[in-house]
Structure 1
């Protein structure tokens, strides 16, 4: 799966000028409320919505251009993503590709002012070679799997200034690199799991993937138990190992065609319904369902998974996320982004996996990786834990 190495964000709400570089398979964001953690995650959602619909609709759902562009700032909203079409382990054997999009406004209407794709000649070094370059709706694209090797250059003009070029061109077989990026962004998944949503009784029918809120959990259980029983048994074994006494979980069809989740506890003869299960049990089960998806998303964002979970489960959950990000048993890794406020979750991380967010004197977000903060690597080498260092104030303004 593609792997993001760097993200540069400019003029997006609190993220007036933020760069995350040398990203890892798992990246956890820590910081006080109001420092921009949710905004950072919303960048992924915003770009996916721009691709699924258009720039105007994605902005309208967030208050329009003037509410999204960083306050007291000029110039366009822009995002630059450097990625490779290979997983973390094999990334250095692939060519780095950069995607850039700038969004501006004219006469009250947002438009894509610049969009391009380029890669470097050679796997590590060399000058950039643009094979997609669109300014104000007009530009060029070069066809083929290897655009440098004699493929054709075409002039293009977009029908609408608020539609991404990768949306239109990514549907065509002659633009495989563009299509790969389109599929990559379309597959990004943001999890906002809500236990009460998972307790609802949905209509009968299978669902291959968990929804953002988890309201189709029973449908996914039905799908996995019928189509991927070995995977489902793995999930049940992991849950039973994490939640003492929990024996089995099933989805039963009611007479009116709906699905009910039933949990069987070891000491009791009869199973009980999801409405009687703790938030923590439901969340651990749902996250494991998500992580053991037979066709996982290429990028996964999870906000504050620690809510409702017992502290002793948090280091275990962090290890589950890390194993999944590095490929797990199937060798298919999903790059993971997590926000957290829990020292127990943070304790399970390596310094290079932890990002600290704060706000500067102008009110904008800043972000730095923990291993780049003075003395943090030395403290860790001496046996200190990241959670304790956070509580003791060693992360500067990112404490809170």
Structure 2
């Protein structure tokens, strides 16, 4: 059974994303756009939500500098993030919204609600949970009765608190869903480290435990490790195998062997691209994958010829995880479908706007005639600014 899939996201007053709504998100979605267009900001919205659910709103808020650094310049109203998702492909639509203000330097969840949209014959959307400033109600889904509740403080999330009770299964499912997201911030320097030995199930955000995860796969899911290595050898034909050894001081030391040579080399001496690709493939072949995976600019340290294969690996993984990728690479985009790509550009007002390449008739026509999606982006076919209106000048008659 696959995890929920986000179908739409709406963001208000979050840095350059002053009023952005993206509908019809795919299980595999690729964000593109020039520097400063808002790609990384949109990526950070998902990271903010994951941190807020895992470590608390205050932690997510403080890590980003609070209201002064987060709020859209010169705009009023709270920072708001709203996601619409389905727990299963044909299930009813669920929408979760959180609004955050700041009081005396502390974040305040001014509004938080979870709404269930039933079928058309069952009437209007119904709120499962609705809180303002730490107080509100939640519906017992087995009986339909509302109960009034108060949280410890206005910076707490009602979903986190109430999602621990069996009487609120949809609230609990949302809590598990968002707190389980994985946002990748892989670092080659971290990947070269030799961690303390011991199997670990999930790759860390920095990738510093890649050896531990390989140990876990080798001991518990050898067929997954075989798949990772097969995909890695396909991308790096000279690579023969990757293995690890336990040092006398109890640390895992990663070794990489190229086929022309008889001896392996330490991971600290291997290429940046090989280590980065190994981490991505290990992440995408996780036997118990995160429900949502975010990867920012995977092209860094990777050769262009590797990117189409990585795009295909991301698409295959989207069968069991929703995968979001930001990229500057035209080669990566060439391997994407037009409805998988979302382009962000800054408007004349300085805020981000969304363009869907598959909604542009000229782009669709050129793709039908053999053009490549990334090449069209490179030639600026996606950046279609609306035509300025011709001013009407009234001339007074004598």
Alignment TM class, shorter chain as reference: over 0.9
Aligned residues of 2:355 and 2:383 also touching (Cα < 8 A): no
Give, in angstroms, the shift of residue 2 of structure 1: 0.3
Aligned residues of 1:359 and 1:397 also touching (Cα < 8 A): no
What secondary structure, in the 3-state scheme, does the structure 1 residue paired with 2:73 have?
coil
Residue aligning to 1:362: 349
Aligned residues of 1:219 and 1:251 also touching (Cα < 8 A): no
Give, in angstroms, the shift of residue 56 of structure 1: 2.5
Residue aligning to 1:74: 76
Q: Does 1:111 align with 2:108?
A: yes
- Residue among 87, 96, 101 paired with 1:99: 96
CA pair 53-295 structure 1, distance change in 2 beyond 3 A: same
Larger radius of gyration: 2
Deviation readout 1:196-235 (Å, 9 max, x if unpaired): 2111111111111111111111111111111111111111
Give, in angstroms, the shift of residue 125 of structure 1: 8.0
Q: Does 1:137 align with 2:134?
A: yes
Residue aligning to 2:67: 65
Deviation readout 1:107-138 (Å, 9 max, x if unpaired): 44321111111111228984201111112222
Residue aligning to 1:219: 212
CA pair 323-125 structure 1, distance change in 2 beyond 3 A: farther
Give, in angstroms, the shift of residue 275 of structure 1: 1.6
Give, in angstroms, the shift of residue 316 of structure 1: 0.8
Root-mean-square deviation (CA, aligned residues, Å) is 1.5
Give, in angstroms, the shift of residue 397 of structure 1: 6.7
Separation (CA, whole Å) in 1 of partners of 2:230 and 2:61: 43
Residue aligning to 2:125: 128
What secondary structure, in the 3-state scheme, does the structure 2 residue paired with 1:396 have?
coil
Residue aligning to 1:158: 151
What secondary structure, in the 3-state scheme, does the structure 1 residue paired with 2:353 have?
strand
Separation (CA, whole Å) in 1 of partners of 2:33 and 2:11: 18
CA pair 282-123 structure 1, distance change in 2 beyond 3 A: farther
Separation (CA, whole Å) in 2 of partners of 1:348 and 1:37: 19
- Residue among 326, 338, 360 paired with 1:373: 360
The within-5 A match list for 1:273-284 is 273-284=266-277
Residue aligning to 2:371: 384
- Residue among 327, 338, 345 paired with 2:332: 345
Separation (CA, whole Å) in 1 of partners of 2:202 and 2:152: 34
Separation (CA, whole Å) in 2 of partners of 1:225 and 1:143: 44
Residue aligning to 2:193: 200
What secondary structure, in the 3-state scheme, does the structure 1 residue paired with 2:9 have?
strand
What secondary structure, in the 3-state scheme, does the structure 2 residue paired with 1:375 have?
helix
CA pair 313-124 structure 1, distance change in 2 beyond 3 A: farther
- Residue among 54, 61, 74 paired with 1:52: 54
TM-score (norm 1): 0.93
CA pair 56-317 structure 1, distance change in 2 beyond 3 A: same
Residue aligning to 1:182: 175
What secondary structure, in the 3-state scheme, does the structure 2 residue paired with 1:224 have?
helix
Residue aligning to 2:388: none
Give, in angstroms, the shift of residue 395 of structure 1: 1.5
Aligned residues of 2:15 and 2:41 also touching (Cα < 8 A): yes
Aligned residues of 1:7 and 1:80 also touching (Cα < 8 A): yes
Separation (CA, whole Å) in 2 of partners of 1:29 and 1:195: 23
Residue aligning to 1:330: none
What secondary structure, in the 3-state scheme, does the structure 2 residue paired with 1:39 have?
helix
Separation (CA, whole Å) in 2 of partners of 1:163 and 1:397: 42
What secondary structure, in the 3-state scheme, does the structure 1 residue paired with 2:96 have?
strand
Name which of structure 1's ranges 103-112 and 188-197 shifts more when overlaid on structure 2. 103-112
Structure 2: 5+ residue stretches without partners: 386-398
Structure 1: 5+ residue stretches without partners: 328-332
Deviation readout 1:7-54 (Å, 9 max, x if unpaired): 000000111001110000111111111111111011111112222233
Give, in angstroms, the shift of residue 144 of structure 1: 2.6
Separation (CA, whole Å) in 2 of partners of 1:342 and 1:77: 31
What secondary structure, in the 3-state scheme, does the structure 1 residue paired with 2:152 have?
coil
Separation (CA, whole Å) in 2 of partners of 1:84 and 1:248: 41
- Residue among 10, 25, 29 paired with 1:23: 25
